[in-house]
Structure 1
C-alpha cells in the first residue's frame, strides 16, 4: 500500500481538521495514512486505528516571535516534517491551510515526492502576514496540485497565478453524520442556525429577523460558541425573546437538531465553504442563506432547493423568514430538493475524486 501524509498545525476542533479526519478514515482502506501535526495533541475527531498520528513536537511555537523567530520556528517545522516523511517512507504529502501547505511543499521537494496543497479560506478575507504572503507566492507554484472548494475560488487563484494546476475538490459530508439522517423525522416549528458566535456569522441579524415573526409557535435555536455569546444573550433578553430564542453551546449530537428543525438560516458575511449549510441541506431542512463569497450560490439554486438573499440585508432576511415559516408546502419542497442536491457531497462520491488525483500523482 502506498503511503500518504496529511500535514496540519493540529487536529483540534475545526473545519479543516474535520475534513482531514474524514478523508484519512476513508483513504485508509486503500493507503497507509499518517497525519503530521506541528503540535503534539490528540485528534478531536475520531480516527481509524490504522491512521497514524505523528507530531513535530514543536513546544515553543508561541514564544518565537518576530522575523527571526518565525524563520527559526518554520525551519524546525520543515526539518521535522522532512524527517517524519523519510522515517515513514511517505509517497505523497497533502497540506491543509497556508502554513502547512508551505511546509508540505518544502518537505516534499526535499524528499522528491509529489505534493497536494489545499486552501480552505475565503481568499478575499485572509489576513496573512507579509512573511506568509511572500512564502505562498514563492512556494505554491512548486506544488503538483492546488485544491480549492469552489469554482469561484479557483478562478480567483488562477488570476493570482499561484499555481497552474488548480482543482475543485468538494468537502465530504461525514459518513457517520449521513447515517444519522432521519428520513421520517417529527419536525417542529424550529428555525435553526449553526456556527461560531461572531460578527461574521451575523447572528444579530438572525435574532432581529426572527423577532419580527409574530407566530408564537415558532422558536429559534442558535447552536455554537464564541466571543459574542454574552452580547447575543443580552440582546435576546433586552428584546424580550428569552422564551422563543435559545443559544446552545458545546453540542456534540448536532444531528438531533438537524432532524428536529424545519428551517435553517445562514447569515454569514463571508465563507471559505459553508459546511453547516451543506449539512442542513443534507438533513432536508429548508435553507435561507446569504449569497456571500464563497459557497452558498454553488449549493443553492434560489427558490428550488433554498433561498438566497443579499448579505447584510435585514429586510430581505426578515421577509424570507416570515414568508417561509408560513408556507409548509414550500418548506417541504425546498427541503426535499436540498437533500437531493447534497447527495453529490456524500463521502463515497467525494472520495473517488480524491483517489483519482492521488493515483495520478503516484503513478
Structure 2
C-alpha cells in the first residue's frame, strides 16, 4: 500500500504531465443531482484543479443540489437539455471547439453520448467512460423495448472507448458479460473516502438534530428514496428492534409518499424521520451509532465509505454490484446480510448495539481509499494514449 507521502509525490508527477497540455481534461456527467457519481466526480474535478491541471465540466443541464460544490474558477458548459439525445450534437461541437487531451464521462447515458460525440467530432482525445451501476440489474428495471435498445447501444459503443472503468470488481464482470466485452476489459477504480479534515469539521459542527442529544442511539441512512434502495426492508428491521434505536433518513426521491405511509403503518412515526436531502450529511454521520444500507443493487456506495471513514459500524445488504461486500466483507462479514431480509438486518443492527464501538477498525479500511490514491488511478488511465 502506498504511504501518503509516496502518493503525493506520484500524484504531483502525474499532474505535471498534464501541465500546459492543450485542452486539458473534460469531465462530463448529466447534471448536479445529489447522487454518488456526481459527488465523486465533483471532488475529482476540484482535485485536478488544485493540482494545476486544466479541467472543465460539461453537463446536460445545470439543475441539482450539488451545483454549489463547483468552484467558480472551474469552467462549466451547459448543453441545454435534460434529454441526452438532444445534447449529442452540442457535445460534439464543444469537443471540436475545446479539443481536450482527455475526456472522462460517468453514467450510462453520458457514456453513450461521449462515445458518439467523439466519433462525430473527429477529435482524437483519450476517452475514459465510467460505469456506476450494476448494468444487468439496471436493464431488468426497463421496459422490454428500452431494455433492448440500451443493451444494444452499450454493446456497440462501449468498446469504442479507450478505457472503461467500474467502481467494483462485480460491476466490471457484470458489464463485461452483459455487453460482450472480453475478460478484464474493465478497470476497477473504487470511490474515494472523505478527507480526514471533513470528519474533524463535522464533529466540531453544531448538532444537526435533537435526537442526538437523547440516550436512545441513532442510526443514519443516506440514499435516494427510490425502489433500488429498498427502504421497506430497512423500516421492517427498525420495527423489529422495538424502540432500541431511532433512524434518520437523508435523501429525497419518488418513493417518499410510499415510505411515509409505511412509517405510519409500522407505528414508527416517533422512531423514524425523513430529513430530506442535507448538504451537511457529515454532521449527522459524525454522531450516528450505526449506519444502515438496505439496497438491492449498488456500485461502491459513497455513503457507506463515508460512514466507514467516520469509524461508524455499518450494516449493509450484500446487494448486486458488490460494493458493500468488497468494502466490509473481509473484515466484518457479520455486518453484511442478504438483500430483502429484514430479520437478518435487524439482528446485525442489534449485534452492533450490543458491542462497544471500535472506530479505528473502520477508519483503517477507509484509509485505503483516499481521494489522492483514487485520483492517481484515474490520471493513470486518462494519460494512456488513444487506440
Q: Considering the TM-score relative to the shorter chain, is it more than 0.5?
A: yes
The residue aligned with 1:173 is: 193
Question: CA offsets per residue over residues 45-101 of structure 1, 9 Å max, x none?
Answer: 412333210122348x4xxxxxxxxxxx73x63332222122223111112122221
Contact 1:286–1:305, Cα closer than 8 Å, also in 2: no
Q: How many residues align?
A: 345
Instruction: Give the TM-score taking structure 1 as reference length.
Output: 0.85
Contact 1:305–1:338, Cα closer than 8 Å, also in 2: no
Q: How does 1:178-217 map to 2 (within 5 A)?
A: 178=199, 180-182=201-203, 189-214=217-242
| Greater Cα shift, 40-49 or 82-91 | 40-49
The residue aligned with 1:251 is: 278
Gap regions ≥5 residues in structure 1? 62-72
CA distance in 2, matches of 1:140, 1:351: 22
1:18 pairs with 2:47: no
1:351 pairs with 2:371: no
Cα shift at 1:228? 2.8
CA distance in 2, matches of 1:232, 1:292: 20
1:147 pairs with 2:147: no
Which one scores higher on RCO, CA 8 angstroms, separation ≥ 6? 2
Question: CA offsets per residue over residues 203-237 of structure 1, 9 Å max, x none?
Answer: 22222222232465x32222222233233333333
The residue aligned with 1:64 is: none
The residue aligned with 1:316 is: 344
Cα shift at 1:254? 0.6
Q: How does 1:1-363 map to 2 (within 5 A)?
A: 1-2=20-21, 3-28=24-49, 29-39=51-61, 41=63, 44-58=67-81, 61=83, 74=85, 77-109=87-119, 110-127=122-139, 129=146, 130-159=148-177, 160-162=179-181, 165-175=185-195, 177-178=198-199, 180-182=201-203, 189-214=217-242, 218-294=245-321, 295-301=323-329, 304=332, 307-327=335-355, 329=356, 332-333=357-358, 335-361=359-385
Instruction: Give the TM-score taking structure 2 as reference length.
Output: 0.80
Contact 1:194–1:276, Cα closer than 8 Å, also in 2: yes
The residue aligned with 2:14 is: none
Contact 2:127–2:382, Cα closer than 8 Å, also in 1: no
Cα shift at 1:114? 1.5
Partner-residue secondary structure (3-state), 2:228:
coil
Partner-residue secondary structure (3-state), 1:356:
helix
CA distance change for structure 1 residues 100 and 250 in 2, over 3 Å: closer, same or farther?
closer
The residue aligned with 1:69 is: none
Partner-residue secondary structure (3-state), 1:206:
helix
CA distance change for structure 1 residues 178 and 89 in 2, over 3 Å: closer, same or farther?
farther
CA distance change for structure 1 residues 265 and 302 in 2, over 3 Å: closer, same or farther?
farther
CA distance change for structure 1 residues 291 and 85 in 2, over 3 Å: closer, same or farther?
same
Partner-residue secondary structure (3-state), 1:361:
coil
Partner-residue secondary structure (3-state), 1:105:
helix
Cα shift at 1:337? 1.4
Question: CA offsets per residue over residues 168-201 of structure 1, 9 Å max, x none?
Answer: 1111234474553539999961122121223322
Cα shift at 1:144? 0.7
Contact 2:134–2:175, Cα closer than 8 Å, also in 1: no
Cα shift at 1:260? 0.8
Contact 1:269–1:290, Cα closer than 8 Å, also in 2: yes
Partner-residue secondary structure (3-state), 1:5:
strand
Gap regions ≥5 residues in structure 2? 1-19
What do you get for the CA RMSD once the two structures are aligned? 2.8
